[in-house]
Structure 1
Amino acid sequence: MVPFRKMHGLGNDFVVLDARDRPLAVTAGAARAIGDRHRGIGFDQLIVMEPPPAGADVFMRILNPDGSEAGACGNATRCVASLVAEEAGKDRVVVRTIAGDLPVERLPGGLWRADMGPARLGWWDVPLAREMDTLHLPLALGPVADPAACSMGNPHATFFVDDLDAIPVAEIGPKLERDPLFPERANIGFAQVLSPERIRLVMWERGAGMTLACGSGACATIVNAARRGLTGRSATVELPGGPLEMEWRADGHVLMTGPVATAFTGELDLARYAA
């Protein structure tokens, strides 16, 4: 049996496995089975903590409910950082992912601030299928059009809308995720700018669907909103699960501040899920 933690950041929920002391063979099939909310445990992402490489405190591997691997997950980064920091008695740790190193620090009030790295703005960074201006993509479907795109270690496109409640996210999200413009698929954000300091956001996550919160999506949203002059370089991004405080620093790095929580702990039979 393998111990696990069920954690979440603003309702964006994770099954966290610890493979630092013993390797765990977590296949795509096992991830899909564990992620089944009716027959498994259920998660937005499966997180595997692996031994720390040089220069980091832990390596974090991220698997989506469809078994695909993701390069970044902001809410999970805070969750994993909080575990490692508590173990080590530290207020600052570095979480390494396949997309790079993410420093995280403890703040008062149970909050954690993650440096999610620089926003990548080139069409090849996202990536997109062909050369174009990432500030205005030639993409429309139903009531949405003209998104902006960037990479936060994973591909994001943000549609800015006047009335978020009128957008059929569950209907158009999966179609936009798989549009030929995105050769690696994309996370799709639907954002309503309420003021220069406040944005409402609903995300359709690549490989996961609608989630209560998406940290990398909030990062992409503040970057794309600021690039279009809709907000300044900092704002509160209000997701269905709660708010994240966002800042796009002058050096291009995006800072994300929010809470973490453990819902419960347990054990799972990894071999049974793999079968």
Structure 2
Amino acid sequence: MLVKFTKMHGLGNDFMVVDMISQHAHFRPDQVRKLADRNFGIGFDQLLLVEPPGRPDVDFRYRIFNADGSEVEQCGNGARCFAKFVRDNRLTNKKNVRVETKNGIIELVVNKDGTVTVDMGVPRLEPSQVPINFPERQLLYPLQVGEKTYELAAVSMGNPHGVLQVEDINRAPVHKLGRALESHELFPEKANIGFLQVVHRRFAKLRVFERGAGETLACGTGACAAMVAGYLQDLLDEKVEIKLPGGNLKISWAGEGHSVMMTGPATRVFEGQVRI
């Protein structure tokens, strides 16, 4: 069958977005992998599905599949694209949109300048909530790779993140070390690995090795997790700008018990049809 889709990106983190309200389809993991291929398919980091709500207090259901076909809990850059997509396609005229994800409800706000602010929810910091296999909560967790031990912060933004502070992200071994830490035995569900360089208290640089996708140009949940990790270590203020390879995000967090707020752009690239 032919399925209509829209190609979008948030700071270069790119998506295939499919309206599953006006059309019906089922994507098997092998089909997702083929579509995600940048040489023989459409090419994307994640597939985003816009589905009818499963409960009365939300507007839509938001599902995310990585390029390897696995379904994941959350994607911040995708959430901004989701908000723009449902507005552009007149699926809603609301500026404040509530969506149901695999991990809970998030709120999206379309701003006058076209950017989208996402209430990413309260970060989870207990080891069992991340999850990371450790008996008690710590500011930094020691993870051994080969003969070397790395100290990472562990944060869940609806999906698991490990954040490693580095002196220079341009020289950080993102691909080699990111792959080793992503699948480390202490992360039972694997984890996204962020390499954080703090420039000053209100500005930082970040590269993220995403589980199931590898390094991407931007990772919204990764930027939120990095900001939380930096704030808890007294390295960052409550409001920061984080520079990713694809562009900048504004992140704010008032501390434990509060939601993380993320603001950034969402861009439509093209529309098409594909046979699945």
Deviation at 1:95, TM superposition (A): 1.8
Residue 201 (structure 2) aligns with: 196
Task: Tell whether 2:94 aligns with 1:94.
Answer: no
Give the alignment partner of residue 126 of structure 1, picking from 127, 130, 142. 130
Residue 243 (structure 1) aligns with: 248
Contact 2:210/2:216 (<8 A) preserved: yes
Residue 112 (structure 2) aligns with: 108
Query: Structure 1, unaligned stretches of length 5 or more?
Result: 271-275
Contact 2:65/2:72 (<8 A) preserved: yes
Contact 1:249/1:255 (<8 A) preserved: no
Query: Structure 2, unaligned stretches of length 5 or more?
Result: none
Matches of 1:197 and 1:134, distance apart in 2: 24
Deviation at 1:190, TM superposition (A): 0.1
Contact 1:235/1:246 (<8 A) preserved: yes
Deviation at 1:144, TM superposition (A): 7.6
Deviation at 1:153, TM superposition (A): 0.5
Deviation at 1:137, TM superposition (A): 0.6
Contact 1:149/1:156 (<8 A) preserved: yes
Deviation at 1:52, TM superposition (A): 1.6
Over the aligned positions, Cα root-mean-square deviation in angstroms equals: 1.4
Identity %: 42
| Higher mean C-alpha deviation, range 126-135 or range 34-43 | 126-135
Residue 238 (structure 2) aligns with: 233
Matches of 1:154 and 1:141, distance apart in 2: 22
Deviation at 1:234, TM superposition (A): 1.6
Contact 2:142/2:149 (<8 A) preserved: no
Matches of 1:200 and 1:237, distance apart in 2: 6
The 3 A distance-change label for structure 1 pair 134 and 65 is farther
Contact 1:85/1:93 (<8 A) preserved: no
The structure 1 segments of at least 4 consecutive aligned residues displaced by more than 3 Å after TM superposition are 140-144
* TM-score normalised over the length of structure 2: 0.94
Task: Tell whether 2:155 aligns with 1:182.
Answer: no
Residue 78 (structure 1) aligns with: 80
Q: What's the CA shift string for 1:22-48, capped at 9, x where partnerless?
A: 432111111111111111111110111
* TM-score normalised over the length of structure 1: 0.95
**More helix by percentage:** 1
Give the letter aligned to residue 105 of structure 1.
V
Matches of 1:94 and 1:83, distance apart in 2: 14
Aligned residues: 270
